[in-house]
Amino acid sequence: MRRSFLLILSFVLLCGSYVDAAVELAARGENPVLLQDVYIFNGVPYVAVDDALDAVSLRGHWNSITHVYRIKTARGWAEITPGSAYLKFGERHYPLGTKPRFIDGRLRVAEDFLVDQLPRLIDRSVYYRNLDPLPTRKVEGEGALDRLFAFLLRKKKTVAGPDLTGVAIDPGHGGLDNGVIAATGLREKDVNLQLARRLQKLFKMRLGVPVYLSRDDDYELTAEQRVAPAARDNVDVWLLLHAQASYGPTPQGVVLLIRRDQPVSASPSVEKSPSLQLAEQMSQALREAGFDVAGIQPTDRLPLGDGDLPTVQIESGYFSNPQDLARLENPDDQELFVQALFQGVLNFVRLEEENR
């Protein structure tokens, strides 16, 4: 049963239409425009700047003499230049995470331009969705869900390739499912997504590896969509982002959850699971960055699958604790937090390399 399901799953994943990358883009509140002329370069989607502007009703043109692309906005001209790390808008320069580049004859911008700079140019927020991580077919039938969560997440080691080939991130909850809600109105689903986006950016920009989010906006996911990124062949770390709440204000700190079927004992005679090793590295990096880590806990109530794919569910803090809440709401603290998680993954990968 499980074997045949695995075969079906691999077939679905191999044949999914994500071979052709596509994104959706629109000014918030407008109908999303599907952009299919998308190139993946170092794991980052690039769309033609003409297409991107068109999707939000802006116009621009390339000046082949000055080698500058000029964009007309309601508040004046903006400029980007291939290979330059700045957007010039009026008299100001805004740093770009990824430089525009010519690919296949068209000047293209990476997704961070769409998310961070387009809203500036149209003075309005932007809807952006990378359609790549979502599976295109569903596993139907009674019990399919149980089988989906029971499937084996195998650590896929390539013999010659780099040690980290891809990362799957699941920002918990979304849509009607808010997760926990703080007294201040802060919603867990939003914090999870903010942290996931920051982590995604770090991995893409520092390592250039593909990062697959189960969702990149505020919508509900099917169980299949939630787990699909982790089942991809090139993914070798799965991070699930959550936060929790307690009845009283006292419980505090980060908790890292891993599968129960794996040894949590630090006894040298017991070989530590990859997930435990990953959690330990994260815990250490978090503590070194000044975060309070309440512990690493095995759990069997989570749909983490079986197998040895290094998987950690990060409970980023307690919404019921004032210090944790202040930290989770603060953008600077969010950035420090994901940097520590990123460092933990790096240390884990290096450790694995040494032990080989």
Which CB atom, from 96 or from 195, has the smaller least distance to Zn ion? 195
Give min distance, CB of 254 to Zn ion, in A.
14
Give min distance, CB of 211 to Zn ion, in A.
20
Give min distance, CB of 172 to Zn ion, in A.
4
Give min distance, CB of 244 to Zn ion, in A.
7
Give min distance, CB of 241 to Zn ion, in A.
8
Which CB atom, from 58 or from 168, has the smaller least distance to Zn ion? 168
- HEC secondary structure over the chain: CHHHHHHHHHHHHHHCHHHCCCEEEEECCCCCEEECCEEEECCEEEEEHHHHHHHCCCEEEEECCCCEEEEEECCEEEEECCCCCEEEECCEEEECCCCCEEECCEEEEEHHHHHHHHHHHHCCCEEEEECCCCCCCCCCCCCHHHHHHHCECCCCCCCCCCCCCCEEEEECCECCECCCECCCCCEHHHHHHHHHHHHHHHHHHHHCCCEEECCCCCCCCCHHHHHHHHHCCCCCEEEEEEEECCCCCCCCCEEEEEECCCCCCCCCCCCCCHHHHHHHHHHHHHHHCCCCEEEEEEECCCCCCECCCCEEEEEEEECCCHHHHHHHHCHHHHHHHHHHHHHHHHHHHHHHHHCC
Give min distance, CB of 192 to Zn ion, in A.
7
- The residues near 301 (Cβ < 8 Å, ≥ 6 apart) are none
Residue from 129, 242, 259, 327 touching Zn ion (CB under 5 A): that is 242
Number of residues in contact with Zn ion under rule CB under 5 A: 3
Which CB atom, from 242 or from 327, has the smaller least distance to Zn ion? 242
Quick note: the x/- pattern for Zn ion over 95-134, rule CB under 5 A, is ----------------------------------------
Residue 39 · residue 103 · CB < 8 Å: yes
Quick note: the x/- pattern for Zn ion over 290-319, rule CB under 5 A, is ------------------------------
Residue 176 · residue 30 · CB < 8 Å: no
Which CB atom, from 164 or from 168, has the smaller least distance to Zn ion? 168
Which CB atom, from 109 or from 257, has the smaller least distance to Zn ion? 257
Determine the residue with CB nearest Zn ion: 242
Give min distance, CB of 80 to Zn ion, in A.
39
Task: Enumerate residues 147-186 that contact Zn ion by CB under 5 A.
Answer: 172, 179
Which CB atom, from 108 or from 226, has the smaller least distance to Zn ion? 226
Which CB atom, from 172 or from 310, has the smaller least distance to Zn ion? 172
Give min distance, CB of 243 to Zn ion, in A.
6
Candidates 139-147, 240-248, 250-258, 284-292; binding stretch for Zn ion (CB under 5 A): 240-248
- The residues near 13 (Cβ < 8 Å, ≥ 6 apart) are 135, 228, 231, 232, 233
Which CB atom, from 245 or from 309, has the smaller least distance to Zn ion? 245
Which CB atom, from 139 or from 221, has the smaller least distance to Zn ion? 221
Quick note: the x/- pattern for Zn ion over 56-95, rule CB under 5 A, is ----------------------------------------
Q: Could you tell me whether strands 76-80 and 211-213 are parallel, antiparallel, or unpaired per DSSP bridges?
A: unpaired
Give min distance, CB of 143 to Zn ion, in A.
25
Binding site for Zn ion (CB under 5 A): 172, 179, 242
